[in-house]
Chains A and B, each alone.
Chain A
Amino acid sequence: MSQGFQPQHPDITEDSWNKINEVITVNRFKPGSVITVLRECQNIVGYLPVELIDYVSHGLNISRSEVFGVVSFYSLFSLVPKGRHTVRVCMGTACYVKGIKEVISRIRSNYQIKEGETSKDRRFSLEAVRCLGACGLAPVTVVDHDIYGGTTANRIIDILEKYE
């Protein structure tokens, strides 16, 4: 145990705490490592609960407001839990020109979620992301780690239905 206090949190297991401690220990004296630490913590837990942000701030000896400022600035970090599957729709220009707007509105009406939200059953999190750089496949949707090109409004529901 690297630190004196360790808050309880329902989404963070004992095993996760061990990993988090390891990340903090490795990076403690590296200047500018806070983004790296937060990234790895988010990979471990899935998101960044406030208790975890406090813990990181304590571990790296940086003020809580500064760590929170970093978390809220970068779109990679999330303060709320994510769904079982993350649906990323590309909002790059090429995808926009090719009709990603219609794809999003279809997802919205079918699963009752907006961009940045998670469906009530925690099945999907919908994210509108910046250009994924796969413009040759536009419009592009990424579900977890699977990239789907040419996702028209008509195809998208068939694709998503494969993910439970």
Chain B
Amino acid sequence: MSRIRTQLMLCGGTGCKATSHGVREALQKELEKRGLAEEIQIVETGCNGFCSVGPVMLVQPEGIFYQKIQPKDIPQLVEEHFLKGRPLKRLFYVEPASEETIPRMNEIPFFSHQLLWVMRNKGVIDPEKIDDYIATDGYFGVAKALQEMTPEEIIAEVKTSGLRGRGGAGFPTGLKWEFARKSPGEVKYVLCNADEGDPGAFMDRSVLEADPHSVLEGMIIAAKAINSHQGYIYCRTEYPLAIHRLNIAIAQAKEYGLLGTDILGTGFDFDIEIYEGAGAFVCGEETALMRSIEGKRGMPRPRPPFPAQKGLWEKPTILNNVETLANIGQIILKGGKWYAGVGTETSKGTKVFALSGDINNIGLVEVPMGTPLRTIIYDIGGGIPNKKKFKAVQLGGPSGGCIPEQELDTPVDYQAIAKVGAIMGSGGMIVMDEDTCMVDMARFFMDFIQDESCGKCTPCREGTRRLLETLDRICEGKGKAGDIELLKELSYTIKDASLCGLGQTGPNPILSTLRYFRDEYEAHIYEKRCPAKRCTALLKFEINPELCTKCGLCFKACPSGAIIWQKKETARIDKEKCVKCLSCFEKCKFGAIF
């Protein structure tokens, strides 16, 4: 029998996979060539989380972290590190501020500020092997729940933990289960919401890709708690890798007797099926999701009755988000008190965020509740690239809001975030620098909401369209006095009168940008000026000779040859040829183009 001395945890998340063509093959070939294939094993893991420096690889057990690996680096890497025992410095992580190289993963600031509970197995186990998951205490929670606990005890433990739904609304999970438990009926369903539709949110995808069994474990425990025998995972079709890995995980769990009939010999039966979505954002809403599983148009219905009483096929149903379910196994194993030991008064445990946009360290971060936003953006995220200034951070996707600089010390906490005009949401965190136009941003979200509005209730269907038209007008320089008031009034009406969460929260991006960036709206409307220089209709496409340094960068950037420039001469723009692509605006460091 061969002995494996080293494991190479190669990230197989969507981000890294898109850029790592041939790395795995090159690595395998090189190891074989050097006669190391017996003792060094390549493991393709789920998303490691540090997407911006991908493709990444972690060498275990040393914990050496390599970034931006390309096939051409492999021969040198294998020779230096695995043959001669000298880790290859060239591929280490470099701290942007201090330019210091950091070899070990847990010493990199991006990782060292995090607390990994939900993502404890990311990049550490092979998501396609159930044995790897069991080796990290996986399914121990199921064993405990099924063999030693009554349903009431399970629900009590989850209530003690203070866990709240991670899908956005933050409803206490234990309470939801209790309602479904008490609902009369023989047939009940456990659903997992993996229809992660918020733009800029990819936490659930990563959990499913990196640790699918943790979600199955949560579902089995939930099933025991409410006495359900059938579960569904509703996963969006845009996540093929997640669906693939879930299928493998379900097959393995069945083989090990963790799903199916008589689970672990306790006489409890439970099965899980995957249901693939078909591309409709509103299906993330609970009642719409259930309609979609029933094969109908995914449109929400009024509540009550709540799904805990009448859900899928009119039977009592609980629907939990991927991240919520991934917490359950450990809560049962280690106890609700352990879980509640971290966090704030009203928000317990950890929260995963998908950090993206104008930030150095794009990726997934998991932090204890109560961590200030500033820590996430500057210490973990590494701040804003290209020496630009921070403008706002967008939380909660199209239902959320923008938080400006002065509120950055707000802690991650359901109440505190709501107080500054955003929502915790599912965990999308998009950082925007000074070049982002907040009116355009609001327009972007309204375009999304308007497009995804299912059309069932009038306030949302008609109201969001009117909001979008107004914003379009403002961005095109046709805004007029009274528009801001109109936006506000309409927003509140839509919030009050809409049927489901989509409309009730849809106007939030407008209201929060109006709250903090009203001056930008006013500049668009009254001065016909876009301060961030993003709205093309408000730009003149001319060059200010006083600011132009004659460097010629705009000339090189222009794709349509519209810039007239010679050395030591001020540039000009030929408006006939200009296609208004903004390439020159991005390149000009002096703000000379307006």
By a beta-carbon cutoff of 8 Å, the part of chain A in contact with chain B is 31-36, 38-39, 66, 69-70, 73-77, 91-94, 96-99, 102, 105-106, 109, 129-138, 147-149, 153-154
Question: Does the CB pair A147–B199 fall under 8 Å?
Answer: no
**A66 to chain B: closest residue by CB:** B296
Of the listed stretches B133-141, B217-225, B354-362, B541-549, chain A binds B354-362
Output the least CB separation between B46 and chain A (Å): 13
Question: Does the CB pair A34–B295 fall under 8 Å?
Answer: yes
Residues from chain A with a CB closer than 8 A to the CB of B276 are: 35-36, 39
Question: Does the CB pair B582–A135 fall under 8 Å?
Answer: no
Given the known interface contacts A33-B295, A77-B278, A93-B428, the answer about A134 and B444 at a Cβ–Cβ threshold of 8 Å is no
At the interface, yes or no: B381 with Cβ under 8 Å from chain A?
no
At the interface, yes or no: B14 with Cβ under 8 Å from chain A?
yes
Question: Does the CB pair B297–A32 fall under 8 Å?
Answer: no
CA A102 – CA B435 in complex, angstroms?
14
Given the known interface contacts A149-B18, A153-B583, the answer about A97 and B197 at a Cβ–Cβ threshold of 8 Å is no
CA A149 – CA B52 in complex, angstroms?
11
B 284-298 to A, binary, CB cutoff 8 A, 1 in contact else 0? 000000001111111
Q: Which of B201, B279, B581 contacts A102 (CB 8 A)?
A: B581
Residues from chain A with a CB closer than 8 A to the CB of B197 are: 130-131
Output the least CB separation between B542 and chain A (Å): 19
Question: Does the CB pair B15–A137 fall under 8 Å?
Answer: yes
CA A138 – CA B205 in complex, angstroms?
16
Q: Which of B54, B313, B444, B454 contacts A93 (CB 8 A)?
A: B444
CA A10 – CA B363 in complex, angstroms?
47
Q: Which of B295, B358, B444, B580 contacts A70 (CB 8 A)?
A: B295
Question: Does the CB pair B293–A131 fall under 8 Å?
Answer: no
**B54 to chain A: closest residue by CB:** A136
By a beta-carbon cutoff of 8 Å, the part of chain B in contact with chain A is 14-15, 17-19, 51-52, 54, 196-202, 205, 237-239, 276-281, 292-299, 313, 354, 356-358, 362-363, 394, 397, 428, 430, 432, 436, 441, 444-445, 448, 454, 557, 559, 579-583, 586
| 8 closest residue pairs by CB, A with B | A136-B51, A32-B295, A74-B278, A133-B202, A135-B356, A147-B18, A92-B199, A93-B200
Question: Does the CB pair A106–B14 fall under 8 Å?
Answer: no
Q: Which of A32, A131, A154 contacts B199 (CB 8 A)?
A: A131
CA A35 – CA B18 in complex, angstroms?
29
Question: Does the CB pair B281–A97 fall under 8 Å?
Answer: no
Question: Does the CB pair B394–A147 fall under 8 Å?
Answer: no
Output the least CB separation between B67 and chain A (Å): 12
Q: Can you report 11 residue pairs joining A to B where beta carbons are below 8 Å apart?
A: A32-B293, A32-B295, A35-B295, A97-B357, A99-B582, A109-B579, A133-B239, A134-B202, A136-B362, A147-B14, A149-B15
**A37 to chain B: closest residue by CB:** B295
Apart from A39-B237, A99-B586: 4 A-B pairs, beta carbons within 8 A: A94-B356, A97-B441, A131-B201, A133-B205
CA A38 – CA B276 in complex, angstroms?
12
CA A117 – CA B432 in complex, angstroms?
31
Residues from chain A with a CB closer than 8 A to the CB of B52 are: 136
CA A35 – CA B197 in complex, angstroms?
19
Residues from chain A with a CB closer than 8 A to the CB of B441 are: 97
Question: Does the CB pair A137–B294 fall under 8 Å?
Answer: no
**B444 to chain A: closest residue by CB:** A96
**A142 to chain B: closest residue by CB:** B18
Question: Does the CB pair B18–A70 fall under 8 Å?
Answer: no
Output the least CB separation between A120 and chain B (Å): 21
CA A109 – CA B578 in complex, angstroms?
12
Output the least CB separation between A131 and chain B (Å): 4
CA A73 – CA B299 in complex, angstroms?
9
**B240 to chain A: closest residue by CB:** A145
**A97 to chain B: closest residue by CB:** B357
Given the known interface contacts A70-B297, A135-B356, the answer about A106 and B201 at a Cβ–Cβ threshold of 8 Å is no
Residues from chain B with a CB closer than 8 A to the CB of A129 are: 238
Question: Does the CB pair A130–B202 fall under 8 Å?
Answer: no
Question: Does the CB pair B357–A35 fall under 8 Å?
Answer: no
Output the least CB separation between B361 and chain A (Å): 10
Residues from chain B with a CB closer than 8 A to the CB of A76 are: 237, 278-279
Output the least CB separation between B385 and chain A (Å): 11
CA A154 – CA B217 in complex, angstroms?
46
Residues from chain A with a CB closer than 8 A to the CB of B356 are: 93-94, 135-136, 138
Question: Does the CB pair B279–A93 fall under 8 Å?
Answer: no
Question: Does the CB pair A69–B297 fall under 8 Å?
Answer: yes
Question: Does the CB pair A105–B295 fall under 8 Å?
Answer: no
Question: Does the CB pair B579–A74 fall under 8 Å?
Answer: no
CA A80 – CA B566 in complex, angstroms?
50
Question: Does the CB pair A32–B294 fall under 8 Å?
Answer: yes
Question: Does the CB pair A73–B294 fall under 8 Å?
Answer: no
CA A29 – CA B197 in complex, angstroms?
30
Question: Does the CB pair A134–B15 fall under 8 Å?
Answer: yes
**A145 to chain B: closest residue by CB:** B240
Q: Which of B54, B279, B362, B432 contacts A130 (CB 8 A)?
A: B279
Residues from chain A with a CB closer than 8 A to the CB of B202 are: 131, 133-135
CA A147 – CA B281 in complex, angstroms?
22
Residues from chain A with a CB closer than 8 A to the CB of B436 are: 97
Residues from chain B with a CB closer than 8 A to the CB of A94 are: 199-200, 356-357, 362, 430
**B280 to chain A: closest residue by CB:** A74
Among A66, A105, A135, the one with the most B-chain Cβ atoms within 10 Å of its Cβ is: A135
Output the least CB separation between B549 and chain A (Å): 22
